[in-house]
Amino acid sequence: MKKYLLALILLMPLTVNASSPKQELSDRLAKVNAFSANFSQTVTSPDGELLNEGKGKLAVQRPNLFNYTPDSEDENLMVSDGETLWIYDPFVEQTTAMWLKDGTDHTPFVLLTRNDKSDWENYLVNQQGNIFTLTPKNAAVQNKLILNVMSNGEVKGFTVVEDNGPTIDYTLLAFKPKAPAATMFTFTPPEGAEIDDQRQ
């Protein structure tokens, strides 16, 4: 009996101090509240065929601010001003505006910038070292997310895996943990662009 009690006492601190993968991910992201980085992007088919490559710049400031600017003028620009998520498609010259809280299904950047407990509750989170795999609980949401976040809060990259669709992999480079200029988080639709306002 004494041996059993001793073993139980020794195990108790491990049980108390161990955090869930979901909490560990949230804690790591909270260590860096603002950053900017360059990114490289690859898009591959379910068969592993390379479909597209791209580069650009990413700026984040919590809570709720981000700017995703691809180098290619044909790729979508995304900006969150804290309330509205703006998505500009230069190919069709259309701007989509939606409430940020409704944008979690459209881009992983919303999850990274909000770092909100209510968002994480929608996912099953598994951890292997610095790799966190987020599987949506809602079967209607088909995007699985994989985040690479160091213990110091640096985001090394993330992957969006679409069910029966392409895999989009982002690698972050030249990571700078400091607040970007406030002008990065404002957006004005280009003159003549069609506006699809979904903030109803």
Q: Answer whether residue 4 shows pLDDT above 50.
A: no
User: What number is the average pLDDT over the span 8-21?
Assistant: 54
Q: Is pLDDT of 113 > 80?
A: yes
Binned at pLDDT 50, 70 and 90, residue 105 comes out as: low
User: In CATH, what number does 20-187 get?
Assistant: 2.50.20.10
Which pair of tokens denotes residue 67? 């700017």
pLDDT band at 36 (very low <50, low <70, confident <90, very high): very high
What is the chain's Cα-based Rg? Answer: 19
Q: Is 9's pLDDT higher than 50?
A: no
Please state the domain extents for the chain.
20-187
| pTM higher than 0.85 | no
61-97 confidence digits (pLDDT tens): 998 999 999 999 888 999 999 999 999 999 999 999 9
Query: What mean pLDDT value characterizes the chain?
Result: 87
Q: What is the model's pLDDT at position 140?
A: 75
